[in-house]
Structure 1
Amino acid sequence: MDIQEKKKQIRELWQLCFHDDERFVNLLFDRLYRDENARCFEERGVVTSALQMLPYRMTYGESVLPVSYISGAATRSEYRNRGLMGRLLCESFEVMRSRAIPLSALIPAEPWLYDYYATKGYAPVFFRGECDYTAAHRFVTTGYHRVSPSMDELYRFFDGLLRQRPCCLLHERNDFEVICGDNRLDGGEVVAMADEAGELSALAFAVPDDDRTRVKELLAVDGAAREAALHEVGQLFPGVPITVVTPPDESGGLLQRMGMMRIVDVPLLLSVVAQNYPSWQAVVRVTDPLLPGNEGTYRIGDGACRRVESAQCDLDVDVAELALVLFGDSHLSSLLDLPAVRPYMSLMLD
């Protein structure tokens, strides 16, 4: 099957399974699809199962880690329950390892898929909070006004504030343009606010959502700029409540799970953890039935990680449990004096 036919059939499979707006699918396949990141199985010239490994990066302490985001994982209904997607995921993990990508992330399309992906080594570590405001809420706006900066200016501001978050998936420029296009398709607005000196101060991605306005991402230099952006959103979509999606550390209420992560290259990831937390001393034994290259005992200390032959260990976990220790709220993190950090992702075009 040639490259164009493969892309055409993967696109058709996407629509067969997800039934998205044609304009949205055109945006994805015109701007983000790359043959080298698409994996599929075919039978008698028909693509039966497919996924895409979209390249992202994630802040982690002083490091920026490559992450492969699984998108459009789908199988034709008549070929399901044959293990095709499991095999496809395992193949994609090997490709990621060959590219020195230590982490894979995804957002399950349905709640029951959390259990399925857990069998493939993924752990639910991505959460989000929500802040709700009634239509009667009044936001302070003094000193700010809406502006229409260039795409270059918007992206620099967007990327700069995302990088200030301690563990956050970043978006490349091309991806950012797709996000803005998708926001427009949903009938939304990308609201940019500037201060009295004309400096960009806040950016909000707002879309109408049933009986309210949903702000899918809100980046601001301070609380005053945040208030000004929300005031402008209220003016654009008057008379309805506003719900702002927030990172877990900015939420004072209950958190909602929103995605999963899998450690694809354990020694590479533990080396990065050791570099960022040089005082952390531990011996960790890891099991991974799907990726034997991950299995082993690792000694972390003095900013480095190395494999060891040792019967004694401080932590004995499988690969999903290790993700919970490093990126979740596992009590083992505090017992090992490891400052676990929750990762966050937004605007993932899910």
Structure 2
Amino acid sequence: MNTIDAVKKIWKVCFDDTEEYVDMFFKEVFDPSHLMLSEHDGKPVSSLLLQPFAMNFHGVELPANYICGAATLPHFRMHGIMSGLMRQALRRSYDQGALLCCLIPAEDYLYAYYRNFGFCPAFYSQLSCFTDAHPFRHDNDYTLVADLDTDEAYEFFNAVMHSRPCTIQHTRQQYRQVLMDNSVSGGAVVAVSSLGGIRAMAFAVPRNGQVVVTDVLACDTDAENAVLNQIMLLFSGMPMRVMAYYGDKPLQLKPRGMARITNVLLCLNAIANSHPRLCATIRLTDPVIEENNRVFRVRDGRVSEFSHLEFMGKPDFDITPEVLAAIVFGNHVTANILDFPSVRPFMSLMLD
């Protein structure tokens, strides 16, 4: 059995995915260069994928890695094998120059597990629920877009994604993979146009008797209602659950994923450049990435760093990577209390 077949076997044992989805993933998404593997007696028993993405972060676009498919065969669990892989993934992310690692826990209890490696709940979606009779009223006329695997469709998608601060971005290829994921999951991607251009796009999949909209991108509320109305017509008789980007005043947030800052200097440099009035001294203790064990002084748009031994003053924050992520990716309340430019991040459409 070759390595790819062995990893596919781990995937099938550990995840409840259809054969069609697994075949699509390993044909269209899987890249051997992203694979991290642990073996026992020469046979793979645990694996994960460390996939490269990007995040628009305080005015710059920085590398960000996404951990997916983290799994260990049942007989080899509780021996620290995945813990070792997670630490290796964080180390590799730092070496690759990634700002952070992010992931989506497969089960709620795993949030506590990933905290052990400095991950913090950071990504949320705004949850809205509608009955199958909800009227999505709109004033303007729209036309359905027939083909969404086009440069025009991607340009609309990419523009809306980049308008969202601190959001995980998708390349053209990753966008195409999202389309394929929706297709094999029995879902649909719907877009509407008006005045010669795409105005809204929504991604929907049927789950447990309801249609789940995993993201909706729109120029305005009218276009959003128009595309959601099309989803409601397509999945007639099913209630709708919308997991969307939150606005300035989110009503109901649902946890979406976790973040772990892997390169603290890169993170603070970006923040300092965009917020030159920020003044803070941060002492960080990182048990996984030795290079982060520094004292960072942010002042006048620049970051100075010192070893723990050479810094003699008292820091404003004496924290771990988990707490740093909670501050950097906090909400407006965090920002106001700590006088720090916290920004809530967002990610969607991660093939989860």
Q: Deviations over 1:297-326 (max 9, x none)?
A: 100112221203242211111110000000
For the 8 Å contact 1:248–1:342, the answer to whether it is kept is: no
- Structure 1 counterpart of 2:83: 86
Alpha-carbon distance change, 304 to 45 in structure 1, aligned in 2, over 3 angstroms: same
- Structure 2 counterpart of 1:176: 175
Q: Please give the alpha-carbon distance, in whole angstroms, between the structure 2 residues aligned to 1:43 and 1:240.
A: 47
SS at match of 2:347: coil
Cα shift at 1:288 = 1.0
For the 8 Å contact 1:49–1:74, the answer to whether it is kept is: yes
- Structure 2 counterpart of 1:33: 30
Cα shift at 1:205 = 0.8
Write the letter of the residue equivalent to 2:181: D
SS at match of 1:284: strand
Write the letter of the residue equivalent to 2:212: R
Match of 2:135 among 117, 135, 138: 138
Q: Please give the alpha-carbon distance, in whole angstroms, between the structure 2 residues aligned to 1:303 and 1:212.
A: 49
Write the letter of the residue equivalent to 2:300: D
Q: Deviations over 1:323-344 (max 9, x none)?
A: 0000024965424321211111
Write the letter of the residue equivalent to 2:285: T
For the 8 Å contact 2:203–2:214, the answer to whether it is kept is: yes
Matched positions, count: 346
Q: Please give the alpha-carbon distance, in whole angstroms, between the structure 2 residues aligned to 1:251 and 1:228.
A: 22
- Structure 1 counterpart of 2:224: 226
290-299 vs 206-215, greater mean Cα deviation:
206-215
**Aligned-residue CA RMSD (Å):** 1.7
Q: How do residues 1-350 of structure 1 correspond to structure 2 at under 5 angstroms?
A: 5-141=2-138, 142-151=140-149, 152-195=151-194, 197-249=195-247, 252-308=250-306, 309-329=311-331, 333-350=335-352
Write the letter of the residue equivalent to 1:257: P
Q: Please give the alpha-carbon distance, in whole angstroms, between the structure 2 residues aligned to 1:33 and 1:207.
A: 22
Q: Deviations over 1:194-240 (max 9, x none)?
A: 01x22111101122223322211111111111111111112112223
Q: Please give the alpha-carbon distance, in whole angstroms, between the structure 1 residues aligned to 2:253 and 2:117.
A: 24
SS at match of 1:248: coil
Return the TM-score normalized by structure 2.
0.93
SS at match of 1:180: helix
123-132 vs 147-156, greater mean Cα deviation:
147-156
Q: Please give the alpha-carbon distance, in whole angstroms, between the structure 1 residues aligned to 2:248 and 2:301.
A: 30
SS at match of 2:25: helix
Q: Deviations over 1:124-158 (max 9, x none)?
A: 11111212222222223432121214522211111
Write the letter of the residue equivalent to 1:18: F
Q: Please give the alpha-carbon distance, in whole angstroms, between the structure 1 residues aligned to 2:265 and 2:338.
A: 18
SS at match of 2:247: helix
61-70 vs 231-240, greater mean Cα deviation:
231-240
242-251 vs 74-83, greater mean Cα deviation:
242-251
For the 8 Å contact 1:129–1:250, the answer to whether it is kept is: no
Structure 1 gap ranges (5+): none
Q: Please give the alpha-carbon distance, in whole angstroms, between the structure 2 residues aligned to 1:296 and 1:254.
A: 37
Cα shift at 1:102 = 2.0
Task: Provide the identity percentage.
Answer: 34
Write the letter of the residue equivalent to 2:322: A
Write the letter of the residue equivalent to 1:213: V
Q: Please give the alpha-carbon distance, in whole angstroms, between the structure 2 residues aligned to 1:194 and 1:135.
A: 24
92-101 vs 206-215, greater mean Cα deviation:
206-215
Q: Please give the alpha-carbon distance, in whole angstroms, between the structure 1 residues aligned to 2:248 and 2:278.
A: 27
304-313 vs 289-298, greater mean Cα deviation:
304-313
Cα shift at 1:164 = 0.3
Return the TM-score normalized by structure 1.
0.94
SS at match of 2:343: coil
SS at match of 1:165: coil
Q: Please give the alpha-carbon distance, in whole angstroms, between the structure 1 residues aligned to 2:148 and 2:85.
A: 40
Q: Please give the alpha-carbon distance, in whole angstroms, between the structure 1 residues aligned to 2:68 and 2:261.
A: 17
Write the letter of the residue equivalent to 1:321: V
For the 8 Å contact 1:90–1:290, the answer to whether it is kept is: yes
For the 8 Å contact 2:128–2:252, the answer to whether it is kept is: no
Q: Please give the alpha-carbon distance, in whole angstroms, between the structure 1 residues aligned to 2:128 and 2:59.
A: 29
Q: Please give the alpha-carbon distance, in whole angstroms, between the structure 2 residues aligned to 1:136 and 1:59.
A: 38
For the 8 Å contact 1:6–1:47, the answer to whether it is kept is: yes
SS at match of 1:128: strand
